[in-house]
Amino acid sequence: MDASDELRSLEATGIYRLAGSRAAFVDPVRLLGESYRRFRLVPSAYYSRSFGPSRQGGEAQAEGTAPSPDRKKRKRKRQTKARELNAVERIAEARHQEARPLLISAHNSLLDAKYLLEYLPGMIKGDECRPELETSSENNFVELGGSWRAPFYEMTICFQKPLGQDEAGTCDVQKRSSPLFNRVVRVEENGEAEGEFQGRLYVLPKGSCFMMTDFTHVRDLIPDNPNTGYNLIVIDPPWENGCVRQKEAYPTLPNRNLLYLPVQELAHPAGALVVLWITNREKLRRFVEEELLPSWGVKDPTEFYWLKVKSDGSLIGDLDLFHHRPYECLLLGYINVNREAESGSKFKVLQGSQVIMSVPGAHSRKPPLQKYIPGPKPPRCIELFARELGSGWTSWGNEPLHFQDSAYFSKK
């Protein structure tokens, strides 16, 4: 497949596979857009961090401008401190040095993809420029879910019957009310729906399912029949993080609470792939590898990397800056899968680390993943601590509708 074919593949699927490397560039807007028929995600809304001031505070540096002398001084100071590493930090630095050749190779393959680099700026901006989102009036589901009124809140779900099912041959809009918190809410397979709640509209993709609860209700997700378990379990925990606390981006959760997530009970007996997003903190990595993954029954984890780039293909930061790496890690491992029996299995298991590159969206928003899924087809997929929905996915967390607000969409 040549470069133009790959570019057409990106437009069709949201994935551009970079030749000669274990890397791919992804466009989350196109990947997520497959879930919608009547709506489209607005690229400039998804990629809002690429436009103007950051919504998390601080000014976004304009492309092509040189850093200020004060910024250079602060950077040199941080680099000086990074040379004075303690024992734990030295282990973290060793991990970085081990990953560094793969990350550099992946990024170089992106810089060599001239067609893709020419395409990126327009992909980020899209046809409709919406650089500033009105977020002040968005519903705060975390606060609402913790209120004594939570059991009484309802969402009005509006959906359309397919064309031709009524006598006039037009779409028949139907409405139903559903408890919003601590209940499973499902959307029909024949098309996306719109949810109305407290004066805001939410776009709900076809075949999606969500449950909005706090951590105390997570075991309500466990299926009554194990054969209806999940083949792909994506987990993006709100890890304890000083930076997140300072910005008040979202509530965090004590790391040890995650030991009680019923991951093994959610897994399909025919096999499940678990994808866990983690930070670059070495103490957290040790806890995950030594305690968390074994408690979930996850075996043989493989490390993937999400390398964040700007719309010109450059990294969002210095690759070697100790405390602000321009990448995040994913650990992928299997439950109920015998990798030694791969030859007789019905699915392909992971082989080696890979790099996913994309332009980041809003804080904590990750590119979607749905690859190397074991077990029966179509796969059953669930995301824990979700902040958006996907077609065919179950999404659980205390704000799975956060990025479903109509402000992020336009009608086709």
| Per-residue pLDDT tens digits of the chain, which is 412 residues long | 566 777 887 888 888 888 878 899 999 999 888 888 889 998 888 887 776 554 333 333 333 334 455 555 555 555 545 458 888 888 999 999 999 999 999 999 999 998 899 888 888 877 665 545 555 578 999 999 999 999 999 999 998 765 554 455 455 778 889 999 999 999 988 788 999 999 999 999 999 999 999 999 999 999 988 888 999 999 999 997 655 554 555 678 889 999 999 999 999 998 889 999 998 889 999 999 999 999 999 988 999 999 999 999 999 999 998 888 999 999 999 998 866 555 555 556 677 899 999 999 876 678 777 655 666 667 889 999 999 999 999 999 999 999 999 999 998 8
DSSP alpha helix (H) spans, 278-349:
282-287, 293-296
H/E run at residue 70: helix 69-82
**In the numeric block, which tokens belong to residue 259?**
């030991």
Question: What does the pLDDT read at residue 60?
Answer: 39
Q: In angstroms, rounded to a whole number, what is the distance separating the alpha carbons of residues 327 and 101?
A: 14
Q: In angstroms, rounded to a whole number, what is the distance separating the alpha carbons of residues 102 and 88?
A: 23
Question: What does the pLDDT read at residue 58?
Answer: 36
**Sheet with 272-278: strands ordered across:** 15-17, 23-26, 355-358, 299-308, 327-335, 272-278, 232-235, 381-384, 393-397, 209-212, 184-186
Q: Are 210 and 400 in contact (CB under 8 A)?
A: yes
Q: Are 234 and 396 in contact (CB under 8 A)?
A: no
Question: What does the pLDDT read at residue 59?
Answer: 36
Q: What is the CA radius of gyration of the chain?
A: 22
Amino acid in position 142: V
**DSSP helix, strand, coil percent of the chain (3-state; round to 5):** 35, 25, 45
Helix, strand, or coil here: 25? strand
Q: In angstroms, rounded to a whole number, what is the distance separating the alpha carbons of residues 32 and 380?
A: 17
Q: In angstroms, rounded to a whole number, what is the distance separating the alpha carbons of residues 86 and 270?
A: 44
The residue assigned the tokens 């509530």 is 251
Q: In angstroms, rounded to a whole number, what is the distance separating the alpha carbons of residues 215 and 228?
A: 22
Question: What does the pLDDT read at residue 129?
Answer: 59
Q: In angstroms, rounded to a whole number, what is the distance separating the alpha carbons of residues 90 and 84?
A: 9
Task: Classify residue 126 as left (phi > 0), alpha (psi -120 to 50) or beta.
Answer: left
Task: Classify residue 305 as left (phi > 0), alpha (psi -120 to 50) or beta.
Answer: beta
Q: Are 33 and 40 in contact (CB under 8 A)?
A: yes
Q: In angstroms, rounded to a whole number, what is the distance separating the alpha carbons of residues 120 and 118?
A: 6
Q: In angstroms, rounded to a whole number, what is the distance separating the alpha carbons of residues 99 and 330?
A: 13
| Cis-peptide, bond into residue 379, ω within 30° of zero | no
> Quick one: which of 379, 380, 370, 284 has its CA closest to 15?
370
The pTM of the full predicted model, rounded to 2 decimals, is: 0.86
Q: In angstroms, rounded to a whole number, what is the distance separating the alpha carbons of residues 310 and 367?
A: 15
Task: Classify residue 57 as left (phi > 0), alpha (psi -120 to 50) or beta.
Answer: left
H/E run at residue 235: strand 232-235
Q: In angstroms, rounded to a whole number, what is the distance separating the alpha carbons of residues 102 and 292?
A: 26
Q: In angstroms, rounded to a whole number, what is the distance separating the alpha carbons of residues 40 and 364?
A: 21
